[in-house]
Amino acid sequence: MAQSPDSGGRDTSRDGPGNVREFKMLTSYGPVWKLIQMQPGLDRIVNGKLIDRASSKMPYRPNPNSTFSAYTSWAALTDRTYWSRHLPAPEEVPTDLPDPEEVAKLFVREEGKFEASDKSTVLFSYFAQWFTDGFLRSDRADPPYYNKNDSNHEIDLMQIYGLTREVTEQLRQHDGGLLKFQMINGEEYPPYAYDAGGNKKPEFSRVPDAPTKLRPDFSPEELSKFFAVGSDTANLQLGFVLMNVLFFREHNRVARVLAGKYPGWDDDRLFETARNVLIVLLIKIVVEEYINHITPYHFGFRANPASFKNPPWYRPNWMSVEFNLVYRWHPLVPDSYRIAGEDVAIADTLYETESLTANGLGQLFEDASNQAAGRIGLFNTPSVLGPVQAWSVEKGRAVALAGYNDYRELCGYPRVTAFNQISGDPRVQKGLEQLYGTVDRIEFFTGLYSEDLRPNSVLPSLIGRMVGIDAFSQAFTNPLLAPRIFTEKTFSPAGMQVIQTTNTLSDILHRNIPDPNKRFVGMTRRDWKRRRG
């Protein structure tokens, strides 16, 4: 298993002096940054300044265009069933681009040539895929899924609550603020959506059953093990299942805490308050564990809504079609998963819940934390996912995205003029030149994943910047973080206590498993060491 390659040898002349200075400042002077974070007032101010700066690297929402039309129209500005877009389609769209399947070959790893991330664990990849599925949701009713998004464009934990009130109502116990549950081997799980004969239970008639649409040949035995959870991808892959069950358990745990503290509250108030708490917990995990894992900086970002006041990027959320492609992190997927001491093929972790019920949540979270994810970049996607990368290329073309260099310019980077300014890897340089001929012909999706990783980061520069922009500017705009709403009146004193004492997935896991053993749970490898870069 190879480790992530160094990015030495890349021509950095097109990084831009301002970008170089900023990166150097944030990745040097570790003791100074540590001292800043020891002082709450200064920490809050710096946190706000850095988040504001990261959110201001591109023009602010609303964007003039969406996938509704190639020009600005009222529907393009208001109909959020379509994807927003950061750049309009170019006036001249290239017609002689390489075949998508040939482009996909740049992404696929050779057999036995898995390159491990030196920083990320499989848990990071599980979380990233599950988290983004809550809002980067190509409309399944609009094949070939290019133009529309069926999400609410919010971080709203629809993964467990569903997209609509009708779905939520069917998932609720309607007693004590709880979600419906069952007990298996002494642990709490969502109920099964199908009976032993493979028939959808009437009580879950509105709960999405996408598995039968994506793969119609499930046996009754397989269907009978699918959990009833809010998202149509709830049972798609083991990582989805783990995250859904964790946050499902935490909802019920918080609801029980609230019921004990406030016996006069009815079921609706208990449920809605627990839901509010859970959504903010997710935002905290995203900022304080997930984003801090991604960045190479010494400063650890905080999910503190008091850090800034009415910033110009504070606008209603609207997910972009570019953001959808930014998050195609399939290189994170290893050749196989190590689960309960055995190597399990990728295909055997799809539509499969019994490994969780047999081994327990604690064991599988620790397994994911002890296995390295892959390096994000070219030549490191499992071959089984090669067709998905080809489809991603097709999606970018179907909506006529501007080129890679155009997006570099939009995000404050100078346009590259040579292949070695993108990567120091001769394989990447040669592959890009053979397919595209010149750097100005490189497509957005291909260019994103062609760049070398930044030292101590899990992402290349342009992906990292775009993730920072959208992650911060569409997380801190959540209504639950607004000044008049982020109060004890919304969450209750007990709920606010839960929020204030939660920073990591490990915090949530260890209060939701019966196993008294302390598990290692982390997105960052326990053997990771910061490199000078």
| CATH code: domain of residue 313 | 1.10.640.10
pLDDT at 1 over 90: no
Task: Strand 115-121: give its sheet, edge to edge.
Answer: 2-3, 115-121, 372-374
Question: At residue 236, what are phi and psi to the nearest 5 degrees?
Answer: -65, -45
Has residue 4 got a pLDDT over 50?
no
Per-residue confidence band for 118, with pLDDT thresholds at 50, 70 and 90: very high
Q: What is the mean pLDDT of residues 298-313?
A: 90
Percent of the chain with pLDDT strictly greater than 90:
88
- Would you tell me how many other CB atoms lie within 10 Å of the CB of residue 430? 11
Residue in the block written with tokens 């609303």: 62
pLDDT score at 213: 57
Q: How many domains does the chain have?
A: 1
Average pLDDT over residues 493-507: 97
**Is the distance from CB of 418 to CB of 11 less than 8 angstroms?**
yes
Task: Tell me the pLDDT of the chain averaged across its residues.
Answer: 93
The predicted pLDDT at position 533 comes to 52
* Nearest residue to 477 via CA among 293, 287, 247: 287
Residues in the chain: 533
**Average pLDDT of span 119-134:** 97
For 425, phi and psi rounded to 5 degrees?
-85, 115
Whole-number percent of the chain with pLDDT over 70: 96
- The span from the CA of 132 to the CA of 519, in Å, is 25
> Among residues 261, 227, 218, 219, which one has the least CA distance to residue 246?
227
How big is the chain by its Cα radius of gyration, in Å?
23
Q: How many Cβ atoms from other residues are within 10 Å of residue 268's Cβ? A: 11
Q: Which of 463, 458, 503 is nearest to 121 (CA)?
A: 458
How confident is the model over 149-158, as pLDDT tens digits?
999 999 999 9
In a domain, 308, yes or no: yes
CA distances from 516 to 100, 114, 212, 510, 511 (A): 50, 35, 38, 8, 10
Give the pLDDT score at 95.
Answer: 83
Q: What is the pLDDT of residue 452?
A: 97
Q: Look at residues 511, 519, 516 and name the one whose alpha carbon lies nearest to residue 249.
A: 511
Extract the tokens encoding 372. 């390295």
Q: Is the pLDDT of residue 211 over 60?
A: no
Specify if 316 maps to a domain: yes
- Structure tokens that stand for 316 in this block: 């209603």
Is 422 contained in some domain? yes
Lowest mean pLDDT: which of 242-251, 275-284, 463-472?
463-472
**CB-based contact 169:161 (threshold 8 Å):** no
Among 203-217, 448-462, 488-502, the range scoring the smallest mean pLDDT is 203-217
Q: What is the band of 209 on the pLDDT scale with cuts at 50, 70, 90? A: confident
Amino acid at 370: N
For residue 65, pLDDT beyond 50: yes
**85 closest CA partner among 108, 97, 101, 68:** 68
> For residue 401, what are the contacts with CB-CB under 8 A and spacing of at least 6?
85, 87, 89, 321, 322, 325, 443, 444, 445
Is 405 contained in some domain? Answer: yes
Assign 430 to helix, strand or coil: helix
Q: What value does the mean pLDDT take over residues 102-127?
A: 96
- pLDDT score of 92: 86
Does residue 462 have a pLDDT over 70? yes
In this structure, the strands spanning 187-189 and 84-85 are unpaired
Question: What confidence score (pLDDT) does residue 212 get?
Answer: 55
333 assigned to some structural domain: yes
Q: What SS3 class is residue 453?
A: strand
pLDDT confidence of 2, banded at 50, 70, 90?
low
pLDDT for 143 beyond 80: no
- Angle formed by the axes of helices 238-261 and 267-285, nearest 10°: 130
DSSP 200-234: BPGGGTTS--THHHH-TT--HHHHTT-B--SSTTT
Q: Tell me whether residue 515 is in a domain.
A: no
- Tokens 């946190």 sit at which residue? 47
Residue 502 neighbours by CB distance under 10 Å: 19
Both structure tokens of 245: 């069950």
The answer to whether residue 450 is domain-embedded is yes
Q: What is the pLDDT of residue 6?
A: 46
Cis preceding-peptide flag for 144 (omega within 30 of 0) = yes
**Distance (Å, whole) CA 150 – CA 158:** 11
Instruction: Tell whether 91 is covered by a domain.
Output: no
Q: Which two tokens stand for residue 299?
A: 């400063």
pLDDT in tens, 364-406: 999 999 999 999 999 999 999 999 999 999 999 999 999 999 9
Q: What is the pLDDT of residue 406?
A: 97
pLDDT, mean of residues 108-122: 96
Distance (Å, whole) CA 458 – CA 292: 11
Classified as helix, coil or strand, 138 is strand
Instruction: Quickly list DSSP for 86-113.
Output: SSPPPSS--S-PPPHHHHHTTTBPPTT-
Q: What is the pLDDT of residue 5?
A: 44
Domain that holds residue 389: 2-57+107-154+281-510
The pLDDT of residue 3 is 45
CB–CB of 303/287 below 8 Å?
yes
pLDDT in tens, 315-335: 999 999 999 999 999 999 999
Model pLDDT for residues 27-56, shown as the tens digit of each residue: 999 999 999 999 999 999 999 999 999 999
